[in-house]
Chains A and B, each alone.
Chain A
Amino acid sequence: MQDISDIIAGCRSWNRSSQEALYRQFFGYAMAICLRYANNKNEAIEILNDGFLKVFYHINSYDTSRPFKSWLSKIMANTAIDHLRSRKKIAFAEDISQAYDLGVTDDKALDKLSYDEILQLVQNLPPAYKTVFNLYVMEGFQHQEIAGMLGISEGTSKSNLFKAKKILKEKIEELSSLKIPGTGTIGATFKK
């Protein structure tokens, strides 16, 4: 595998083979992020390619002292948010001042479900819930940051997260109790 610093140097010169190398090397990582925000694989690829285009255009602004994956994940998350915004898919729930406990979740119920099944449950969340859930749980942003990024209040961010988790919990329990083997594939091939 080619060294990341060489690849980035090539991308800075707008070298096509370096761009392809970067794309290939981080396709899986970036696609996993995009899939969580999108509804399906095609939409995820659209977000992914828009995100990589930003990467190539702004590769000069990448600080090489920081992990590339961290920079890439921020770009992909922001591209996904822009994508959802452009399609006016985000409608946020009402404000809440505190999060309520979801109650006890059976760990074994989660263990019974595969990556594909959980991913599909996340994809099926309403866009606003899904966005906040991904930013908070997967990307690690705080409610204050999410509020700033999405132009909402912190309370709204908490509210959307709570509702996202509530829906997921119910769906997970439902799936595991019914022991449904799967809810279908998303069209992409996954490696484990």
Chain B
Amino acid sequence: MSEQFENIIRKKLQEAEPTFDPAAWEQMKAKLDNADRRRPFFWWWAGGLLLVAGLAGWWWFARPSGTTLAQQQTTAAATDVNKSKQNTTANISANEENKIPVSPSATIPAANADDVDNPAGKNRQHATAQDKFFGKPAGAGNSSVQLRDHINANSKAGNNVNKPAAGNAEEKNIPSPGSNVNNTITPGNPPTTSTGGNVNNTPGTTPATVPQPSPVPANVNNPASGKPLPGVAPPPPANVDNPAQKPQPASDSADTDKPVSKKQKRGFDGGLFLGPDLNVTPAFKGLPIGVTGGLIVRYHVNNRWYLNTGVGYAKKLYGASPSEYTMSYPNAYYKIDADCDVIDVPLNVNYTFAEGKKSSWSVMAGASSYFMLKEKYTGTYNNNTKRDWIVKNKNQHYFSVINLGVTWEKQTRSRLTWGLQPYVKIPVGGVGQGSVKVYSAGITVQAILGKKKD
């Protein structure tokens, strides 16, 4: 009878359906509008965070220090110099025909950085002649040398010391923080630039900086001591603010007056990583151990900063409370266990805060995108019965997890670097079919192949 009663009731309750209510849809639209507003918010937030992090990192390594500032400014100045290129053709031709070095005196005016910005006048012609001498196009290459001298003279006039060197223009363009090695004058190679030229910008400087038809640059042939350096024609310029006013080997001064700069690390390296991966949700329903591993690619911006990305596979196992699942299937289980195969694509920034001879420590921060390959969920009822369901390739979560970690690296004698990286992954949004917030932690062993450490 009981069954019959149920059937009749069921039949009665199924025989009618409410008609569409426009007011209900209006309420629904309001809910959807709210949802629309929330969806892009995360992307703006995440995008903004990454942008700020990227700019902060860029600012840090690109901030003004010696050569880097000079390089930036000379690059900008190069354009102006190129504009004057067309006015100097006559001088170039003359020098080319003679195939002889341009008179040093002719190069002096060009060394004055003011000339770079001066679109007219013969100073510019001298500069171009010098370019041709070095077989370089007039403009960018030469102007970079000129303006770098100008900057060095203004910012570090007291340290400006002429230095003998190979004396070719290519070497002059090699950045060297805090040094003025660009002021190179070598016998046989005409000086391309001189600090003397820079002094023209300083009030009260000596007339020695004025261009003169002397075969020797006036600004470099004015040693206070009057003693020429062995093998090096130009002593320090007279007008340089050098209290000692003593001639000294430029090569020595370059080594002693400036801080010893380490070779900057720049470029790519890469390798493999592998380690255990622990995952937990706020409900803390167990702590099964998964595994993660994959490829890692790093780009070293300088000795301190590097970016790393790669592709990692992670076996993520975690238990969760049904209330943590926002999925629409029946979620009134006692607990739900997840076994997910995930591709993890990180984008991290590392900062090396301590570096020894063979080892280094760095901190890492960034975000990961999860691509869920296979999600297997097992719901457990109170009476211990279980129900499984599987979802494949349906969920992708872009930059939905914040990565934080510390990396210790040990350089071997070969190109191999070993590393250990404890990490945590903090969810910004939900992960997987149920949009569950899954926290991860673990430690990976890294094997990186790169350049051999100097």
Is there an interface contact between A78 and B8, defined as CB atoms closer than 8 Å?
Answer: no
When distances are taken between beta carbons in the complex, the residues of chain A under 8 Å from B333 are: 148-149
CA gap between A110 and B12 in the complex, in Å: 9
Is there an interface contact between B1 and A105, defined as CB atoms closer than 8 Å?
Answer: yes
A93-126 residues with Cβ-Cβ distance < 8 A to B are 99, 101-105, 107, 110, 113, 115, 118-119, 122
- Within the complex, what minimum Cβ distance (angstroms) separates A92 from chain B? 13
Say whether B451 faces chain A, with CB atoms less than 8 Å apart: no
When distances are taken between beta carbons in the complex, the residues of chain A under 8 Å from B13 are: 32, 36, 115, 118-119, 122, 138
Describe A's contact surface by its main secondary structure. Answer: helix
Is there an interface contact between B332 and A150, defined as CB atoms closer than 8 Å?
Answer: yes
Is there an interface contact between B18 and A32, defined as CB atoms closer than 8 Å?
Answer: yes
Contacts A148-B334, A192-B15 hold; do A102 and B24 have CB atoms under 8 A apart?
no
- Within the complex, what minimum Cβ distance (angstroms) separates B211 from chain A? 71
Say whether A24 faces chain B, with CB atoms less than 8 Å apart: yes
B379-405 residues with Cβ-Cβ distance < 8 A to A are 379, 381-383, 385, 391, 394-395
CB contact between A78 and one of B15, B16, B331 (< 8 Å): that residue = B331
CB contact between B327 and one of A24, A61, A113, A153 (< 8 Å): that residue = A61
Contacts A53-B31, A56-B32, A147-B381 hold; do A102 and B16 have CB atoms under 8 A apart?
no
Contacts A78-B332, A144-B385 hold; do A49 and B24 have CB atoms under 8 A apart?
yes
Is there an interface contact between A74 and B329, defined as CB atoms closer than 8 Å?
Answer: yes
Say whether B2 faces chain A, with CB atoms less than 8 Å apart: yes
* Cβ proximity bits A41-85 to B, threshold 8 Å, 1 near / 0 not: 000010011011111111011000000000100110010010000
* Cβ proximity bits B329-345 to A, threshold 8 Å, 1 near / 0 not: 11111100000000000
Contacts A53-B32, A144-B385, A153-B382 hold; do A110 and B25 have CB atoms under 8 A apart?
no
Say whether B433 faces chain A, with CB atoms less than 8 Å apart: yes
Look across to chain B and name the residue whose beta carbon is closest to the beta carbon of A191: B19
B interface size (C-beta, 8 A): 45
Is there an interface contact between B8 and A107, defined as CB atoms closer than 8 Å?
Answer: yes
Say whether A9 faces chain B, with CB atoms less than 8 Å apart: no
Is there an interface contact between A191 and B25, defined as CB atoms closer than 8 Å?
Answer: no
Contacts A45-B27, A115-B12, A115-B15 hold; do A102 and B5 have CB atoms under 8 A apart?
yes
Contacts A61-B394, A113-B12 hold; do A101 and B1 have CB atoms under 8 A apart?
yes
Say whether B35 faces chain A, with CB atoms less than 8 Å apart: yes
Say whether A91 faces chain B, with CB atoms less than 8 Å apart: no
* Cβ proximity bits A133-149 to B, threshold 8 Å, 1 near / 0 not: 00001100000110111
Say whether A4 faces chain B, with CB atoms less than 8 Å apart: no
Instruction: Report which residue of B6, B17, B36, B329 has the largest number of chain A beta carbons within 10 angstroms of its beta carbon.
Output: B17
Q: What are 15 A-B interface contacts by the 8 Å CB criterion?
A: A23-B25, A24-B20, A27-B21, A31-B24, A45-B24, A45-B27, A54-B326, A57-B35, A81-B332, A99-B2, A104-B1, A119-B13, A148-B332, A148-B385, A151-B382
Q: Which residues of A contact B (CB under 8 A)?
A: 14, 16, 19-20, 23-24, 27-29, 31-32, 35-36, 45, 48-49, 51-58, 60-61, 71, 74-75, 78, 81, 99, 101-105, 107, 110, 113, 115, 118-119, 122, 137-138, 144-145, 147-154, 165, 168-169, 188-192
* 4 A-B pairs closest in CB distance: A148-B381, A28-B17, A149-B332, A75-B328
Q: Which residues of B contact A (CB under 8 A)?
A: 1-2, 4-6, 8-10, 12-21, 24-25, 27-29, 31-32, 35-36, 326-334, 379, 381-383, 385, 391, 394-395, 433
